[in-house]
């Protein structure tokens, strides 16, 4: 079941798109679950980082599609995004927010089918594992591969990924269990879990990341950490 959100301030367009998606589902055997929103603010307020694909109108009166997409990308870097527009000059701007493509209004079924075929050919069967969490800033779905490291932050955990950091309201024991279930993570310290794919070197009791960040390695954990890193990197070390 694919979860699809349609965000457009025209009810007629929402119905037209739903009809097209239902036709595509009937032809391909895929199952879709639809969620309709009439402006970007409405979508953001109800946003769950488990949508597979969003159809987003660029021009909306309250909160336009570009600003909405910018905020969505802060929470969810993986969701597919197809912009809807009647003005071609906005198209290239949309690609800044990781748009899969765009559809010109009115949407023709032949074009919709072509874009859906392209989307599913590219993404089907390539789902990545994600860390899902929510905090006071919003709800997030972060690919494990994007997480550099996690560190204890008082009673919670701070997760560092891409160009930002977010607090997770869980303790390090819980987050460590989630991250270390993935082969690229290892616990280097009571307060740190690090993504081994970001390590470029070891200096004493510190792991040096490709970003220049230094992650402590405690003496009691050093042996197990180095074994885990050797297993991950193999002959590359």
Distance CA 225, CA 13 (A): 55
Helical segments of the chain, H only: 11-28, 40-45, 65-75, 91-95, 109-123, 172-179, 219-233
Of 92, 123, 154, which one is at a domain's C-terminal end? 123
Q: How far apart are CA 187 and CA 69, in angstroms?
A: 34
Percent of the chain with pLDDT over 70: 90
- Structurally, how many domains does the chain consist of? 2
pLDDT digits (tens, 9 = 90+) for 140-185: 888 898 899 999 999 999 999 988 899 999 999 999 999 998 989 9
CATH number at residue 187: 2.40.50.1020
Two tokens at 217?
Answer: 């390695």
Q: Return the pLDDT at 190.
A: 96
Is the distance from CB of 55 to CB of 18 less than 8 angstroms? Answer: no
Q: What is the pLDDT of residue 25?
A: 93
Same domain for 119 and 139, yes or no, is: no
The pLDDT value recorded for residue 130 is 86
Predicted pLDDT of residue 100: 63
User: Who has greater pLDDT, 6 or 84?
Assistant: 6
Provide the CATH number for the domain around residue 28.
Answer: 3.40.50.2300
Confidence grade of residue 235 (pLDDT, cut at 50, 70, 90): very low
Residue 22 confidence (pLDDT) above 50: yes
Q: How far apart are CA 162 and CA 34, in angstroms?
A: 30
Contact assessment for residue 10 and residue 38, using Cβ atoms and an 8 Å cutoff: no
7 and 40, same structural domain?
A: yes
Burial class (CB in 10 A: 0-12, 13-18, 19+), 227: exposed
pLDDT in tens, 178-218: 999 898 999 999 999 999 989 988 999 999 998 999 999 99
Could you list the residue range(s) of the whole structural domain that residue 85 is in? 2-123
pLDDT of 221 > 90? The answer is: yes
Q: What is the 3-state secondary structure (H, E, C) of 156-221?
A: EEEEEECCEEEEECCCHHHHHHHHCCCCCEEEEECCEEEEHHHEEEEECCEEEECCCCEEECCHHH
Q: Calculate mean pLDDT across residues 127-135.
A: 83
Q: Are residues 105 and 12 in the same domain?
A: yes
Residue-level pLDDT at 45: 87
* Closest C-alpha among 199, 196, 167 to residue 180: 196
| 6 shares its domain with 119 | yes
57, 80, 179, 210 from 166: Cα distances, Å: 29, 22, 15, 20
Query: Residues 180, 79: one domain?
Result: no
Cα of 218 vs its chain's centroid, Å: 32
Please write the tens of the pLDDT for every residue from 39-68.
889 999 888 777 889 998 887 777 777 888
């Amino acid at each position: 079941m694919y979860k699809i959100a349609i965000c457009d301030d025209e009810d007629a367009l929402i119905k037209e798109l739903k009809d097209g998606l239902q036709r595509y589902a009937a032809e391909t055997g895929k199952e879709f679950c639809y969620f309709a929103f009439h402006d970007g603010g409405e979508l953001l307020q109800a946003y769950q980082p488990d949508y597979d694909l969003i159809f987003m109108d660029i021009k909306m009166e309250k909160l336009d599609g570009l600003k909405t997409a910018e905020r969505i990308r802060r929470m969810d870097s993986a969701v597919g995004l197809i912009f809807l527009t009647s003005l071609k000059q906005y198209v290239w701007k949309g690609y800044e927010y990781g748009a899969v493509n765009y559809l010109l209004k009115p949407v023709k079924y032949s074009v919709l089918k072509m874009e859906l075929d392209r989307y599913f050919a590219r993404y089907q069967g390539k789902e990545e594992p994600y860390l899902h969490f929510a905090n006071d800033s919003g709800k997030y779905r972060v690919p494990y591969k994007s997480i550099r490291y996690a560190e204890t932050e008082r009673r919670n955990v701070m997760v560092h990924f891409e160009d930002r950091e977010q607090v997770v309201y869980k303790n390090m024991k819980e987050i460590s269990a989630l991250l270390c279930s993935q082969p690229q993570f290892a616990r280097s310290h009571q307060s740190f879990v690090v993504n081994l794919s970001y390590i470029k070197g070891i200096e004493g009791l510190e792991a040096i990341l490709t970003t220049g960040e230094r992650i402590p390695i405690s003496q009691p954990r050093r042996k197990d950490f180095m074994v885990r890193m050797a297993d991950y990197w193999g002959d590359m070390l």
